[in-house]
Structure 1
Amino acid sequence: MAAEGKRLPLTFKVMACLAAGILVAWVVTTLLDTYFNMPLLADTKGWLLRAGDWLLLETPMPNWSLMLIIATLIGTLSVAIYYTRSPDGAGGELHEIERKVYKKNNPQFPQLTENQTLLMEVLAYHANYRKIASLDSVCKLVSISTLEVEVGLKQLEAKRLVKRSATRGTFGATTFSLTVAGKDYALERFELT
């Protein structure tokens, strides 16, 4: 079934161009034959007459029917190749649906809760703008409690999507960043600029 908005490739414009092309070819061959003494049109006409005589020969299987069978087979093969190689259309839509069903049934990444997804989005935001993600900066961007943020970050660490880095010294701080798997998850799920 054709999708809505899709047009057939054979339109009035294509048919008009084809007719104009045939007319131009006839005019050119007639002018070449008349003014430049090139018997191209006469040779073509003679060749077409000989081919017509051959098609009308009486044989056990008439030649025209053999040519019709061959033309039908070539046409069927051409249509099959066209629809097999066509990137869009029903085959492309079916492939896209199959891919979505496969991704849903075989997720590449673990399923996250709403809070974990929110934390991943905040960490992706920090990574996208090259900011340091501390517990305070994450808590400022989300509307959940500090305890829930800590629990969510620990769960994301257990799923190996987030890594924690601690610095020592007078101004020691704990920062959070995405792992390679976390970056892949963020690239697939969120729109980053």
Structure 2
Amino acid sequence: MAAQGAQSPISFKAMACSAGVLLVTWAAIKLLDNYFELTLLADTTGWLLLFWDWLALETPMPNWSLLMIIAILIGTLSVAIYYTRIKDGTHGELHEIERKIYTKNNPQFPQLTDNQTLLMEALAYHANFRKIANLNSVCKLVSLSTLEVEVGLKQLQAKRLVRQNVTRGTFGATTFELTLAGKDYALERLELT
């Protein structure tokens, strides 16, 4: 007699479920075969039997072992490709982080003060939306006094990041725009789209 509380390894529930699955599968196949012309099932069974016969052939190297070798090679290749892609992704991220640290420690652009950075952002904003940047529009955008903006723009001109355009005549105006170096700086440091 079994000890109390101990269950047998095969329970009645497991046997009933497996028998139910087999019964439903058999009934579905019979119903489909009666109401639909299922030649595919017979063809599949035939193909599987031919494949089984081919696997069981007696040759110097059994066919099933040849298939196992091919499966192992494909599996190994898949794992190698998978880990190579993972390593490339991590390596790419690491390379990007190293590049950012290098450019921060070895700047190719001059260091700017906070006001100069604000002015560069304002001029980049104007360039991005194809607006003309004059002294008044820049002052409104950065909320600095006219004197601070003029001094900052002159310093940026000395660093060759900003160019001043002066037009003469009745409707003469002074406008400011980024030079190529200024555009590079804006793209690199200000991360504009």
Query: Secondary structure, in 3 states, of the residue corresponding to 1:160?
Result: coil
Give TM-score, length-normalised by structure 1: 0.59
Which residue of structure 2 aligns with residue 51 of structure 1?
51
Give TM-score, length-normalised by structure 2: 0.59
> Against the structure 1 CA distance between its residues 37 and 74, is the aligned structure 2 distance closer, same or farther, given a 3 Å change threshold?
closer
Report the structure number with the largest CA radius of gyration. 2
Question: Whose relative contact order is higher, 1 or 2, with alpha carbons under 8 Å and at least 6 apart?
Answer: 1
- Cα distance in 2 between the residues matched to 1:28 and 1:182: 74
Q: Does 1:154 align with 2:151?
A: no
> Against the structure 1 CA distance between its residues 42 and 130, is the aligned structure 2 distance closer, same or farther, given a 3 Å change threshold?
closer
- Cα distance in 1 between the residues matched to 2:131 and 2:149: 18
1:116 Cα shift?
Answer: 2.1
1:58-90 Cα distance to aligned partner (Å, 9 max, x none): 4444322221110111233244446667xxx66
- Cα distance in 2 between the residues matched to 1:185 and 1:171: 32
1:135-154 Cα distance to aligned partner (Å, 9 max, x none): 34434544656555344323
- Cα distance in 2 between the residues matched to 1:54 and 1:126: 75
Q: Does 1:101 align with 2:102?
A: no
Give RMSD over aligned pairs: 4.0
Q: For residue 105 of structure 1, what is the amino acid of its counterpart?
A: Y
- Cα distance in 2 between the residues matched to 1:132 and 1:69: 70
Q: For residue 48 of structure 2, what is the amino acid of its counterpart?
A: L
- Cα distance in 2 between the residues matched to 1:28 and 1:74: 35
Q: For residue 111 of structure 2, what is the amino acid of its counterpart?
A: L
- Cα distance in 2 between the residues matched to 1:44 and 1:171: 87
> Against the structure 1 CA distance between its residues 104 and 37, is the aligned structure 2 distance closer, same or farther, given a 3 Å change threshold?
closer
- Cα distance in 2 between the residues matched to 1:123 and 1:158: 16
Query: Secondary structure, in 3 states, of the residue corresponding to 2:164?
Result: strand
Identity of aligned residues (%): 63
> Against the structure 1 CA distance between its residues 185 and 167, is the aligned structure 2 distance closer, same or farther, given a 3 Å change threshold?
same
1:125 Cα shift?
Answer: 3.0
Task: List alignment gaps of at least 5 residues for structure 2.
Answer: 1-23
Which residue of structure 1 aligns with residue 37 of structure 2?
36
1:131 Cα shift?
Answer: 4.4
Task: List alignment gaps of at least 5 residues for structure 1.
Answer: 1-22
Instruction: Give the conservation status (yes or no) of the 8 Å contact 1:57–1:63.
Output: yes
> Against the structure 1 CA distance between its residues 136 and 41, is the aligned structure 2 distance closer, same or farther, given a 3 Å change threshold?
closer
